[in-house]
Structures are given as structure tokens and as C-alpha cells.
């Protein structure tokens, strides 16, 4: 796919890849839900994406270099992984989540993680490092702190009063 953008504007170039109704939702489910297979992305999606739409978006995200699709043999499920470009979309999703929680109606439970991430740039950086380990095989730097995903989950549960 990777066609030339309509203009040289950086915002336009990003919108052409990420500006449809589903691409960021698919990336969200891979980043925050660790959903790596088509069936998981289809059935565990809160917005009820149609299978043909999911297939189209996954192909687009692979073609545009945000995801890779592992080669499979017959009977094996294809796994999708983030590329570095896909991982670098995380701060964009955090910013969009912060905007959404401040300017649109949202539910408390589904907005807690957005609030936590918007208030903790260090946690976002650590999460991106964790994604690099899981998707790219890059070893995490040594740290005495719990993993970013564990810290995010603990803060989420505390905010909902589940601890």
C-alpha cells in the first residue's frame, strides 16, 4: 500500500494511515489487550468490528508498516506483532485518550487507563519498552520496579477499588 500522501503535510500523512474508524482501535487492542490473533481481535473487541473490516485493517496496518504478520503453516493461527512504527503510535493513543476523556462522554471504567497513562509519561515510556520486548525481541532494561503492564494493572485496580 504505502502510496504517496495527498500532500507533504505530516498530519495528513499520519491521518491517511491512522485516521479511519478502525485502525487505532485494532492497534489499541494489540497494545493494551495483547490480542495478537485475528479471532481474539474479532471476538474480544468492545466495538464489534466486522470480520471483513478487521481483515481489511490488519492488511492495511501490515502494508503500512505498523504491524507484521507471522508466516503460518496450515492449521496454525497467524500472529500479528507491532513494529517500531506501531509502538511509536502509543503516545498518540495516550494523547487521543486524554482528549477523549476530557471532551467526550466516556465511562469511568473504560477511561481509567487513559487517565493513568496521561498522567504518567514515564509509565508510557516503560510500556513502550515492554512492547519492544514482546513484539520485537528487544531485551528490557534492568529495573527494580515492576513491569509497566503490572504497574498499570495495579493502578487500574486501585482506581476501581478492586484491591
Taking only the tens place, the pLDDT of each residue in 64-101 is 999 999 987 777 789 999 999 999 999 999 999 999 99
pTM of the model: 0.90
**Strand partners for 80:** 69
Measuring CA to CA, how many Å separate 71 from each of 12, 68, 75, 76, 90? 32, 9, 12, 9, 25
* 93/133 Cα distance (integer angstroms): 20
User: Mean pLDDT throughout 44-53?
Assistant: 93
Domain ranges in the chain? Answer: 9-83, 89-163
- Is residue 51 pLDDT above 60, yes or no? yes
CATH architecture of 9-83: Orthogonal Bundle (1.10)
Per-residue pLDDT, 77: 86
User: Mean pLDDT throughout 134-150?
Assistant: 91
Do 22 and 53 meet the contact criterion of CB atoms below 8 Å apart? yes
Mean pLDDT score of the chain, rounded to an integer? 92
Amino acid at each position: 500500500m504505502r502510496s504517496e500522501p495527498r500532500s507533504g503535510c505530516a498530519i495528513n500523512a499520519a491521518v491517511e494511515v491512522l485516521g479511519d474508524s478502525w485502525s487505532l482501535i485494532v492497534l489499541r487492542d494489540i497494545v493494551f489487550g495483547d490480542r495478537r490473533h485475528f479471532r481474539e481481535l474479532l471476538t474480544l473487541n468492545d466495538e464489534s468490528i466486522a470480520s471483513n473490516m478487521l481483515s481489511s485493517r490488519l492488511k492495511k496496518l501490515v502494508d503500512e508498516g505498523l504491524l507484521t504478520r507471522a508466516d503460518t503453516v496450515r492449521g496454525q493461527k497467524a500472529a500479528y506483532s507491532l513494529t517500531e512504527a506501531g509502538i511509536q503510535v502509543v503516545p498518540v493513543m495516550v494523547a487521543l485518550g486524554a482528549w477523549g476523556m476530557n471532551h467526550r462522554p466516556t465511562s469511568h471504567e473504560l477511561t481509567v487507563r487513559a487517565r493513568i497513562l496521561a498522567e504518567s509519561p514515564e509509565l508510557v515510556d516503560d510500556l513502550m519498552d515492554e512492547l519492544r520486548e514482546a513484539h520485537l525481541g528487544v531485551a528490557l532494561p534492568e529495573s527494580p520496579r515492576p513491569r509497566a503492564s503490572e504497574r498499570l494493572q495495579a493502578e487500574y485496580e486501585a482506581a476501581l477499588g478492586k484491591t
